[in-house]
A and B are shown apart, each in its own frame.
Chain A
Amino acid sequence: MSGKEERVSRSEEAIILHHLDSLMVKEQEISGVLVSTGDGFRVASRLTGSLSAEKLSAMASSLIAINEAVCKESSLGACRDLVIEASQGRILLMDIPHPAQKLILTVLCRAKVTMGQVLWAARGCRESLGKLFVGS
């Protein structure tokens, strides 16, 4: 139902992947990372096993969109990070600053790591990606 279209160039993807890799090196308990567009297309990913970056990109889009609707509905201001607590880990979703389009950073991590630790690392990655896009 949809034509495949490149959203970032190969070289841009390589630079984004470099940032994702260094996040995973910094925090060993992070088991997967994904950058996707606001409307649910994969831009770059480091995922393990059978996880589909395409499906996770669409899910991240739905989650962020619903998150924003809930923030608006409850008049609690602009939406920031979305944290999902699962029995065996956490999933973090956050916007990446970009001048032209909304991009989403999704971070999957195992339970052992503390919340502050992973949030700190993910936000750092988000900032460096943001600088990349704003500077480009």
Chain B
Amino acid sequence: MSDREYKLIFTGSMGAGKTTAIAAVSEVAPVRTEMQNTDHAHHVKETTTTGLDYGVVTLPGGEVLRLFGTPGQVRFQFMWEILGKGALGVVVLADNSSEDPVGDVLEYARAFADVIDGSRAVVGVGRMDVHPVPTLEDYDAALRGIGVRVPVVSTDVRQREQVLTLLDILFYQIDAASEFSGAALQEVP
């Protein structure tokens, strides 16, 4: 991977919109690996991602973003580990209409703690228009509680522009984190 290429992760709970988000922005036909969902007690959706999602976006500055979506369910944790390798940042998606969306976000933030490293992430909360609670502040407070300081924004991943906004924010977070660690490195005598 060249230094202008970035591997980014989309994660979040079942049905939060990881597959939708990547399909909304990818310049290449996205890779999807969906299977029929049999766990209707957990979510009523027809299909669910059990392998990975993949898509590519080129930013106006020429940076190539390689987007990898994870399965949501914890039984696919081994895929989280595989996909997280070499990633530079994480988009965590939440569905505000679900039972415990803040708890879900904390779980993914913990699972990807090595990649996030305190700040290399953005949280996108969907369906806030119809489910205004929990609020963005609730997410922010909970994340700070586990030492993660990242932007939390309302989003609709069906809208390409809104997914691009998430990626812009994440890109900024990664840049800021790299500059910071770069500066820290230079201070070493």
Report A's interface with B, CB cutoff 8 A: 1-3, 5, 7, 37-41, 54-55, 57-59, 61-66, 68-69, 73, 101-102
A59 nearest CB across to chain B (Å): 7
Question: Which one, A1, A38, A63, A101, contacts B74 given CB within 8 A?
Answer: A1
Flag whether B41 is at the interface (Cβ < 8 A).
yes
Task: Encode B24-53 as 1/0 by CB contact (under 8 A) with A.
Answer: 000000011111111111100000111110
Flag whether B78 is at the interface (Cβ < 8 A).
yes
With a cutoff of 8 Å between Cβ atoms, the chain A residues found around residue B31 in the complex are: 69, 73
Question: Which one, B36, B48, B104, contacts A102 given CB within 8 A?
Answer: B36
With a cutoff of 8 Å between Cβ atoms, the chain A residues found around residue B104 in the complex are: 1
Bound-state Cα–Cα, A3 to B71, Å? 17
With a cutoff of 8 Å between Cβ atoms, the chain A residues found around residue B33 in the complex are: 62, 65-66, 68-69
Question: Which one, B36, B41, B42, B78, contacts A58 given CB within 8 A?
Answer: B78
18 CB-based A-B contacts, threshold 8 Å? A1-B42, A2-B41, A2-B74, A2-B75, A5-B41, A7-B38, A41-B38, A58-B78, A61-B51, A61-B76, A62-B33, A62-B50, A62-B52, A62-B78, A65-B33, A66-B51, A73-B31, A101-B36
A-B contact count (CB 8 A): 82
- B interface residues, how many (CB within 8 angstroms): 27
CB-CB under 8 A for A59 and B74, given A39-B39, A65-B34, A73-B31: no
Flag whether B129 is at the interface (Cβ < 8 A).
no
Asked if residues A2 and B35 are in contact (CB atoms below 8 Å), the reply is no
With a cutoff of 8 Å between Cβ atoms, the chain A residues found around residue B51 in the complex are: 61-63, 65-66, 69
